[in-house]
Chain A
Amino acid sequence: MPDAAVVRAASLVLAHTPGLARHGSKPMRTLPADAELTSKFLSGLRSFDDAVSYPPHQAFLGACHPRELPARPWVGTSWAGAQRFAPFGELMPEEEFLGLMAAVDEFDLLVLTADVAERAAKRLASHPLSAYLDLGRISAATGDVTAALASGALPVHLAPDTVAGALRPAHAEDESLTAHVLLENLACKATGALALLHLLHDHGLDPAGIGYTISCSEEAVGDRYQRGGGNMGKTIASVAGLTESSGADVKNFCAAPLPAVVIAASLVVAGVFEQVVVVAGGSQPKLGMKFEGHLRHGLPVLEDVLGGVALLITADDGISPRIRLDAVGSHRVSSGGAGAQIIHDLAVRPLEAIGARLLDIDDYATELHNPEITEPQGSGDVAARNYRTIAALAARRKDIGREGIDAFVAERGMPGYAPTQGHLASAICYLPHALTRLTAGDAERVLLLAKGSLFLGRMSQRSDGMSVLLERNGG
């Protein structure tokens, strides 16, 4: 059995979906009763070019390190030389994304107008990943959208307000199979598949070599007898052509990706599977979540992208960054919910376990929500608050002086740059950057920390969290 597991490759994608933003949970509840607000919402949607050149998106996709971002504000500025395709993946335009959803739709849920289907199929035919896609499904999705809408389907738009298709409910009475739920799940499947296909293609990986696929997406796939039955992991593995893979889902609110990484690494080190993929698609309900704050502050609707991530964990190859399974931080039940205790469990304890200090970490990746998105709705700068908490803990432990807090944050932290797709913003979005820093760069150790708000589900008052230490491979 291998001594250690490594992260061999990772990819990140965004899909620009301003037309789907109206079906985000908040807009869906707010807009129908308010025509004036709807008008402002639609005129506040961004163009594709604006989304591509938005500096945080370019940092997300690897065009620059987050610490290289210019000072805010970022809205109204452009990242020089911004491209749709970037080192970690791409930002896909919405019409192609509708085509991608049709290409991965195995149950004829999505109906597209003829012109949208034709254009989307044509564009995807020249996409670098076209060979992996079932493009025939896109033309087969052409249908009578008007009739579908009349029979209860959900309208699907291209921004700002053009009906491009319809999403059919799968059952007349099952609340787990309504059109809204299926839209969430199909969008999640499509973004997860896009990330996984980039992982395979961009890194020249053999799909048949992968034995297991763990999804850490936020959506719940199921029916009325098992609302969260799953299995998005196998679903995405199947559509991406991982013929030898089984799969399962790991759920833990926003924190899910890090337990998924730890489980995947454990399976590899235990010799159960040689190669394990961790994948997540995007969260459609979170589109437009804080749009009222954005409009109030004269900003565009900034939550107009879905995200996706995929990474490959294998046995130690002597090159790729190692996952230190002897230094996994976990937020214990006995630790309670106070911020200091959580950070102690996630940052101090795992480092103490291997005789390391907080100063031995070059980069901390925590909840990296873009503050330009969170502040206008009163959520503050989440990343900055987390970094100051870690730095304050370092000061209390006498690792640094109190005057060193700002420098600690500047050197080992970074501005939040991720869209508020919670699970992706929670550290995992930094993983491709971490791989670069721990191989071509000068970092020796990166600590990823994630927290999840279990109390939102009204079954536990608790939160949870996990941390993972990645280390340069000494060969």
Chain B
Amino acid sequence: MDLSTQETIKRLADEHGADSLIVLLGAPDAESAGIAAETVVLGDPSWAGPLAGVQLGLPVYHILEDEARAAVPSEVWEDQVGLMADVLEVDAIAEAVREFREQLPQ
């Protein structure tokens, strides 16, 4: 996850509190989705950005996951991202994000 995005997420968490936030990803593959999820749950794995060593523990979903799909009007979801469900490897992306979401502090 690039440094300016990390900075923005950190600022929003500081301003609003981690309890008020959900991170919604649009990454196009499992590897980058997993890295982004890890960054906002456990901290920046590359130790290069503002979230290095910062465990925000934010709930994180990918827009193609069932949970996110259920939260969006179906016609909007279909119009905006439906095609990408045919293009991207949805199961692998969902698995990569779920792995870190399940490590959220209870």
Contact = CB atoms under 8 A, between A and B. Distances in A.
Interface of A: 336, 338-340, 343, 378-380, 385, 388-389, 392-393, 395-396, 402, 405
Nearest to B82: A340
Given A385-B87, A388-B87, A338 B32 contact: no
B83 A385 contact: no
B80 A378 contact: no
Given A385-B88, A392-B87, 14 more contacts: A336-B80, A338-B80, A338-B81, A339-B83, A340-B79, A340-B80, A340-B83, A340-B84, A378-B31, A378-B35, A388-B86, A389-B83, A389-B87, A392-B83
B35 A396 contact: no
A343 to B, nearest CB: 8
Contacts of A343: 83
Nearest to A378: B32
A79 B92 CA distance: 34
Contacts of B50: none
A385 B82 CA distance: 15
Given A338-B79, A378-B35, A389 B28 contact: no
B66 interface: no
A429 to B, nearest CB: 22
Contacts of A388: 86-87
A380 B80 contact: no
Contacts of B83: 339-340, 343, 389, 392-393, 396
A380 B87 contact: no
Contacts of B79: 338, 340
A395 B29 CA distance: 21
A385 B28 contact: yes
Contacts of B28: 380, 385
Given A338-B79, A338-B80, A338-B81, A380 B86 contact: no
B87 to A, nearest CB: 4
Nearest to B48: A292
B32 A380 contact: yes
Nearest to B86: A392
Nearest to B29: A380
A339 B26 CA distance: 11
Contacts of B31: 378, 380
A116 B70 CA distance: 65
Nearest to A389: B87
Nearest to B2: A378
Interface string B50-80: 0000000000000000000000000000011
